[in-house]
Amino acid sequence: MESIDTGTENKSTGLSSEEVLKQRELFGANRSAQPKNLLLENLKSVFFEPMFILLLAACCIYFILNELSEAFTMFAALLFVAGIDIFQNFRSQKAIKALSRITKSKTKVLRDSEIMHIDFEEVVTNDIIICEEGDIIPADADIISSSDFSLNEAILTGESVSVEKFSGDKILQGTLAVRGYCHARVTAVGIKTTLSGIGELVSGTGKDKTPLQIKVANFVRIMVIAGSAAFAFVWIYYWWESGSMIHGLLHGLTMAMSVLPEEIPVALSTFMALGAYRLLKAGVIARSPGAVETLGSATVICVDKTGTLTQNLMKVSNTLDVFSGEEVDFNKFPKASEILEYAMWASEESPFDPMEISIHQFYSELYKTDERKNYKMVKEFPLSGSPPVMTHIYQNNKKDFILSCKGAPEGVLKLCSMSEEDKSKILKYSEEYAEKGLRVLGVAKGEWTEQEYPGSQEEIKFKFLGIITFYDPPDPHIPKVIQSFYEAGVDVKMITGDYLKTAVAVAGNTGIKTDRVITGIELSEIKDEELKNTARSVNIFARVNPETKLRIINALKQSGEIVAMTGDGVNDAPALKSAHIGVAMGKRGTEVAKGAAGLILSGDDLSKMTDAIFLGRRINENLIRAIRYIISIHIPIILLVMLPIFLWWLPESLFTPIHVIFLELIMGPTCSIIYENEPAQKDELMKPADSANKNLLKTSQLLITIVQGLMITLGCVLIGFYGSYMEFDDVKIRTLIFSTLIISNIFLTLLNRSFTNTIFVTIRRKNKLIPLIISLSLLFLLLILNVPFLNNLFDMSPLKADEFLLPVMTAFASTFWIEPIKFFRFRKKGE
């Protein structure tokens, strides 16, 4: 192990601002690939959309039939649909781009004699980077100086065993610092690094679909299969009846357009992107839009103890006179002050470790002057060994030495001369403190009279002074946060590497249930199949290593739970990545933890998770509203395209592609804009999320949704029957049915804002977009009915005021039947 001679410290001030610009001009930014052309990507995605292909086919058929008005209308619709898709994609990408600017990995560099935190992309060649435990190396570099520094190079070699690095060694982009720290000079950036093919190191959480995305994809797949079958049936029927393949194909395309639920994936992507952007304003960074929805669906949250439930401050608790077995006060017992003083001598001058920070703070409170100013560190033996210890050697102008050592008590005792009985007594005290949840450091002072510095710690004669204990106080806000999780129907489990008694004590102080606990050793004896039930029932997992933590997460997932996992350390990364949604701490979280997580709490405030859960649930509930609305309104469109085959009183070509695409253009903005903007309802936010194994819609929800669609269909069919009975022509029957469908769509939009509260309640909830969308829908309908060109294009005729009243009344009866049901159900629950 290399020791650092601080007498030959690096005098470099780093690059100047002018040198940085020159290096970037010569070697480029630290980016492995050029960003994609968003416009081309959006155009490609739009051109391969099923609805775009159907519209293009219908447009071509109208041109073949020489029906130019219809052809140009379909072409305009084609451009309009493409424009909406591209706009929505850009809208989503804009939100995601704003997120990516926040979530870029940071690194520390020395520039103009100052340490700066910059994005990976801003690193240039010849920069001096400072890498510490948990950091991802931002570029290829050569080490200038190091202290107990080692890397995990698995991303390059596949080997998970850490590799020690010393001055002069090369470190490569993408590898992970797992111990110590180093200063290194950058030798290659961007495409010239060894890892150039990887691109941005922490650009996303992968392409795994969220639970809701999977459910939506499965539902859309079923609809596509049904649509393909209906398309084939209608095409063949009308081809056989008319003898014209083109005529049959036009009817088939109309059917396919009516069945295809393209609004659902559009609504999903829009809801996710805007939800992530809203959460960003609240201090929670979603590294992918779907992360918000996933956290809203979470049924279990697994939390770490240190730094999540506790403050990760490591405050000094007390010292122990190990020979008398009495805890002593720093102010009253000289020996205690000596223990603290030598612990300070053995600490770094600019500490990174929480325990050393606490030692610094406590020392400054007790001592007005710092004697270290009169000494210079001439030798350091970095933290090493098993158990690990570290030693500092100071010398003043008179050549007097001060040698101090601290570390794990058993490690320090190995360097001290004392009886085995005393060593056993000290170790016993250490274990007792550790079981109470305290961290324990052994402190010793050494003697050295030679002119040359010792070559190793073992050459020094040490005297054991005593031990210092530290405690990590619980965060005072955590009990309220834990309570909010339980109230929201989310189970909370603590998974920690700490002692069982410590874990139970912290859990009790923070409000986590403590009725069922288990240790890592006990878990190792449980088979994977049995672990599914155990993981669901146990509340506290103690003395758990990273591999066991990963087993617990996977067992919960396999049992149908949707799992969220919090963490901030390197060892948390596998579990964070494996969980449905990983949540990392923004300030104290390591880069690898943040890279594995889907959400980052920018202020390390766990209470923000409740905000994220409620926003995710709001998105889920509003998306369910949108999907139920889409299904309900698609049912009458599908049936009204197919029913003329079976019902003689309906016009044969009741709806054409022009009618269907108009309805699609109303439905798309309605569900994506109105429902996305719906305010949250408290009863829905506090309702437990469904497990990953549940269907997109419950049976009762699907049943009511289908009945809503069938009732609208029934109203339209009865209007058609009435028109036939009154001997209206096909144009007037089509006009009445089309008007009924549009007005039903408006009523359905209002009614489906809630399935528990009546419209008299929901109408008071602010949603500024509703008047706008409804006004535009009515305006378009009136224009179609009263503008001659549009009359001809849609094959309709104007309606008188009393005639227009018939579709309004029919639409009202077809949709408002659900209101009395909601009223009596709500009243019954209230009682």
Q: Work out the average pLDDT over 760-771.
A: 86
If one compares 452 and 812, the residue with the highest pLDDT of the two is 812
The answer to whether residue 14 is domain-embedded is yes
pLDDT for 127: 94
If one compares 688 and 1, the residue with the highest pLDDT of the two is 688
Q: CA of 395: how far to CAs of 372, 404, 465, in Å? A: 9, 12, 21
- Asked whether residue 342 falls in the same domain as residue 321, the answer is yes
Kindly indicate the confidence band of residue 277, based on its pLDDT and cuts at 50, 70 and 90: confident
- Asked whether residue 396 falls in the same domain as residue 520, the answer is no
CB atoms under 10 Å from CB of 136, counted, come to 22
Q: What would the two tokens of residue 353 be?
A: 């470790």
Alpha helices in 122-194 (DSSP H): 154-157
Would you call 464 helix, strand, or coil by DSSP? strand
- Asked whether residue 501 falls in the same domain as residue 622, the answer is no
pLDDT at residue 6 above 50? Answer: no
pLDDT for 765: 85
pLDDT at residue 537 above 90? Answer: yes
Kindly indicate the confidence band of residue 494, based on its pLDDT and cuts at 50, 70 and 90: very high
Lowest-confidence range among 140-144, 350-354, 413-417, 419-423? Answer: 350-354
Contact 606, 475 (CB under 8 A): yes
**Residue that finishes a domain, picked among 442, 471, 500:** 471
**Residue that finishes a domain, picked among 454, 471, 488:** 471
Q: What CATH number is given to the structural domain containing 215?
A: 1.20.1110.10
The answer to whether residue 595 is domain-embedded is yes
Kindly indicate the confidence band of residue 5, based on its pLDDT and cuts at 50, 70 and 90: very low
Provide the β-strand partners of residue 4.
380
Q: What CATH number is given to the structural domain containing 290?
A: 3.40.50.1000
**Residue that finishes a domain, picked among 438, 455, 471:** 471
**Count of the separate structural domains present in the chain:** 4
pLDDT at residue 109 above 90? Answer: yes
- Asked whether residue 494 falls in the same domain as residue 536, the answer is yes
If one compares 682 and 624, the residue with the highest pLDDT of the two is 624
d(CA 766, CA 770): 9
pLDDT for 110: 92
pLDDT tens-digit profile of 38-82?
566 667 666 766 656 766 776 777 677 676 776 776 677 677 667
- Asked whether residue 244 falls in the same domain as residue 386, the answer is no
- Asked whether residue 750 falls in the same domain as residue 788, the answer is yes
Q: How many CA atoms within 13 Å lie on the side-chain side of 22?
A: 7
pLDDT for 612: 82
Lowest-confidence range among 88-102, 115-129, 286-300, 429-443? Answer: 88-102
pLDDT at residue 523 above 80? Answer: yes
pLDDT for 697: 78
d(CA 51, CA 86): 14
Rg (CA), the chain: 35
pLDDT for 199: 36
pLDDT for 210: 64
Would you call 128 helix, strand, or coil by DSSP? strand
Q: Work out the average pLDDT over 112-118.
A: 89
Q: What CATH number is given to the structural domain containing 26?
A: 2.70.150.10
pLDDT tens-digit profile of 591-619?
666 767 778 887 777 888 888 888 888 88
The answer to whether residue 399 is domain-embedded is yes
d(CA 664, CA 328): 78
CA angle 613, 618, 623 (to 5 degrees): 125
% of the chain beyond a pLDDT of 90? 23
d(CA 748, CA 741): 10
d(CA 520, CA 518): 7
d(CA 545, CA 490): 24
Q: At what angle do helices 334-345 and 354-366 cross, to 10 degrees?
A: 130
The overall average pLDDT reported for the chain is: 80
Kindly indicate the confidence band of residue 27, based on its pLDDT and cuts at 50, 70 and 90: confident
Contact 479, 676 (CB under 8 A): no
pLDDT for 200: 38
Kindly indicate the confidence band of residue 354, based on its pLDDT and cuts at 50, 70 and 90: confident
The answer to whether residue 41 is domain-embedded is no
Alpha helices in 28-67 (DSSP H): 38-47, 50-64
- Asked whether residue 403 falls in the same domain as residue 517, the answer is no
pLDDT at residue 689 above 90? Answer: no
- Asked whether residue 178 falls in the same domain as residue 167, the answer is yes
pLDDT for 279: 79
Q: What CATH number is given to the structural domain containing 396?
A: 3.40.1110.10
d(CA 636, CA 720): 13
Provide the β-strand partners of residue 517.
540
If one compares 259 and 50, the residue with the highest pLDDT of the two is 259
Name the nearest CA neighbour of 231 among 641, 794, 737, 713. Answer: 641
Alpha helices in 189-333 (DSSP H): 211-242, 245-259, 263-281, 290-296
pLDDT for 284: 81
pTM over 0.85: no
Kindly indicate the confidence band of residue 672, based on its pLDDT and cuts at 50, 70 and 90: low
pLDDT at residue 91 above 60? Answer: no
- Asked whether residue 453 falls in the same domain as residue 489, the answer is no
The answer to whether residue 457 is domain-embedded is yes
If one compares 313 and 14, the residue with the highest pLDDT of the two is 14
pLDDT for 332: 55
pLDDT for 493: 95
If one compares 340 and 263, the residue with the highest pLDDT of the two is 340
Q: Work out the average pLDDT over 463-484.
A: 87
Kindly indicate the confidence band of residue 202, based on its pLDDT and cuts at 50, 70 and 90: very low
- Which structural domain, as residue segments, surrounds residue 500? 280-311+475-609
pLDDT at residue 787 above 80? Answer: yes
The answer to whether residue 37 is domain-embedded is no
- Asked whether residue 508 falls in the same domain as residue 453, the answer is no
CB atoms under 10 Å from CB of 314, counted, come to 21
- Asked whether residue 682 falls in the same domain as residue 671, the answer is yes
pLDDT for 102: 46
pLDDT for 4: 33
pLDDT for 55: 64
Contact 520, 540 (CB under 8 A): no
pLDDT for 197: 47
If one compares 179 and 426, the residue with the highest pLDDT of the two is 426
The answer to whether residue 96 is domain-embedded is no
- Asked whether residue 17 falls in the same domain as residue 53, the answer is no
Residues in CB range of 411: below 8 A, 6 or more apart: 385, 386, 387, 388, 389, 442
pLDDT for 235: 82
Name the nearest CA neighbour of 603 among 483, 477, 709, 486. Answer: 477
